Homo-oligomer: A and B are copies of this chain.
């Protein structure tokens, strides 16, 4: 019952993302690592892994390590890209503090299209290259952003 084109849930996308991250860091991905990084218990990881394996996103032999398939890697990479774009935008342009920017990027990354992300990246580029061309201009903008609270 593996649907080729099925859209993954946020939760499952997150699993792929974290698996890719651990793979880069430690080469070998154990269930326990995934559980720790995501702050869930290992049986939850098991269920997720089973679903991901059924749909060809990971390979997993019982009691052994987890590996992304090319298909899984692709998704993981796309989500990571979105995360990075969103985080930079929130953190470097809107000056949202690290922790919050990370959390919000983590939530938004699963609900926004590639196209929108591409445009956000371009906006960021444009502002860096053509508007906030030096430190002073960026600082002025920062002050504007932080002081000029918009009211309802």
A residues near B, CB below 8 A? 77, 81, 90, 93-96, 100, 104, 107-108, 111-113, 115-116, 118-123, 125-126, 131, 141, 144-146, 148-150, 152
Contact = CB atoms under 8 A, between A and B. Distances in A.
Contacts of A152: 77, 81
Contacts of A116: 90, 94, 96, 100, 104
- Copies of this chain, how many? 2
B119 A96 contact: yes
User: Which 4 A-B pairs rank lowest in CB-CB distance, beginning with the nearest?
Assistant: A107-B111, A94-B119, A121-B150, A122-B145
A123 B94 contact: yes
14 contacts: A90-B116, A94-B119, A94-B123, A95-B119, A96-B115, A96-B119, A100-B113, A104-B112, A104-B116, A107-B111, A108-B111, A122-B149, A125-B148, A131-B131
